Chains A and B, each alone.
Chain A
């Protein structure tokens, strides 16, 4: 039920955005993430963006996992 998926913000009109999710375009509400900008990836849950994904943190987590996988 808390399923939420990453989607790229393609355009913004007021409190709504067109986002791309795996090739499909959908309209989502930005009421919970007014800070979202075009080009950002957001986490979409039941038609609402609930957060903007942090690319730097995502890359950092992957680097960390790579380091663990190398030493293990």
Chain B
């Protein structure tokens, strides 16, 4: 088993689509939380093959998209500090803050470096002992344990020039906030596969228990997503609301206990700002007291000035599932992947980018 090609078989995909069409009679709206699922759905044209009864809605599962301008401004301000090397995942570089972007800061002379892993950021810190190396900690529960591991490694080695700007977000609290807002009516929820690899499917129990909404944890290949949709349809038609796992090869109910332990050792939950949703309690992660020496916000006096929202950009509503990219007058006109206006077009996982690249007719 290679875990990829097997889950792209087109004959089996047709069978799953036929199953969804056969089972589904009640109109249902399903949200895919994760931008990775949005990409699979668009790349394989899954929306087009679903019966009219099934509507897919994209959710807020794109970490760079949900990062508030205030936090983006902080990363840019930090990049301009003297003797600072700002290391970041590439996704962040082109995301516009209030007045600038990391890419622009780099063009202006700031030392901004793109890395693939927290390990690379650690290496930069080891190789540049005279510099302060700040790593932008971004991502959901999938990524936070890797950053935690890098902090523990830095502590073990006694590195005193490695810092994290912790902009991590937690997924269950934002889903709860979405559901509590009453703005989106959902009949099913496709839970993020790799977040669940860490948290376990248990993290989503509250959705089926408290809101009566069926949940399925999905992998990222087309058969995974189609299988998950068929399981959701089956729950809807039999009036069940449970958390099921369609991605058993990668997700256990209890998650990855080592990853959870490291994440909880280094980080504690804190309130966080989300684009379009404002502050959500206990939806972010901050460094714990014992690791504060690695906290960029403690070590540097960041003054990022007043924030400004991008005029005309509907990312906030799109992330809440209440608007689609086509609702945005700038979509495909003033805003394209080459000349993006908002984060949902910059990030390859953003809804606007997925619609633009795979939507056909730019819609």
A64-B249 Cα distance, complex, nearest whole Å: 13
Q: How far is the CB of A10 from chain B (nearest CB, A)?
A: 14
Decide yes or no: A53 and B145 within 8 Å by CB, A1-B63, A47-B116 being known contacts. no
Q: Which residues of A contact B6 (CB under 8 A)?
A: 58, 62
Decide yes or no: A50 and B140 within 8 Å by CB, A1-B35, A32-B259 being known contacts. no
Contacting residue for B145 out of A2, A48, A65, A70, CB 8 A: A48
The range of chain A's interface size is: 35 or more
**Is B16 engaged at the interface, CB distance under 8 Å to the other chain?**
yes
**Is B19 engaged at the interface, CB distance under 8 Å to the other chain?**
yes
**Is A12 engaged at the interface, CB distance under 8 Å to the other chain?**
no
Contacting residue for B142 out of A33, A34, A50, A65, CB 8 A: A50
Residue of B nearest to A55 (CB): B1
Q: How far is the CB of B143 from chain A (nearest CB, A)?
A: 6
A66-B19 Cα distance, complex, nearest whole Å: 11
A4-B6 Cα distance, complex, nearest whole Å: 17
Q: Which residues of A contact B18 (CB under 8 A)?
A: 69, 72
Residue of B nearest to A47 (CB): B117
A57-B349 Cα distance, complex, nearest whole Å: 28
Q: How many residues of B contact A (CB 8 A)?
A: 60
Contact (Cβ within 8 A) A50 B194: yes
**Is B120 engaged at the interface, CB distance under 8 Å to the other chain?**
yes
Contact (Cβ within 8 A) B192 A50: no
Q: Which residues of B contact A57 (CB under 8 A)?
A: 248-249
**Is A25 engaged at the interface, CB distance under 8 Å to the other chain?**
no
**Is B3 engaged at the interface, CB distance under 8 Å to the other chain?**
yes
Contact (Cβ within 8 A) A69 B14: yes
Decide yes or no: A61 and B11 within 8 Å by CB, A1-B64, A46-B89 being known contacts. no
**Is A68 engaged at the interface, CB distance under 8 Å to the other chain?**
yes
Contacting residue for A2 out of B152, B194, B251, CB 8 A: B194
Contact (Cβ within 8 A) B149 A32: yes
Residue of A nearest to B117 (CB): A47
A69-B63 Cα distance, complex, nearest whole Å: 35
Please, what's the 1-or-0 string for B182-199, where 1 marks a CB less than 8 Å from any CB in chain A? Answer: 000000000011110110
Beyond A1-B35, A65-B227, 13 extra complex contacts between A and B, CB < 8 Å: A1-B89, A31-B153, A33-B258, A47-B118, A47-B146, A48-B146, A51-B259, A58-B1, A62-B7, A66-B15, A68-B19, A69-B19, A72-B22
The contact sample of 30 A-B pairs, CB cut-off 8 A, is: A1-B89, A1-B349, A2-B142, A2-B143, A4-B194, A29-B119, A31-B258, A32-B256, A41-B1, A41-B3, A45-B142, A46-B116, A46-B139, A46-B146, A47-B116, A48-B119, A50-B145, A50-B198, A51-B250, A53-B250, A58-B6, A58-B249, A62-B6, A65-B12, A65-B15, A65-B223, A68-B16, A68-B230, A69-B15, A72-B22
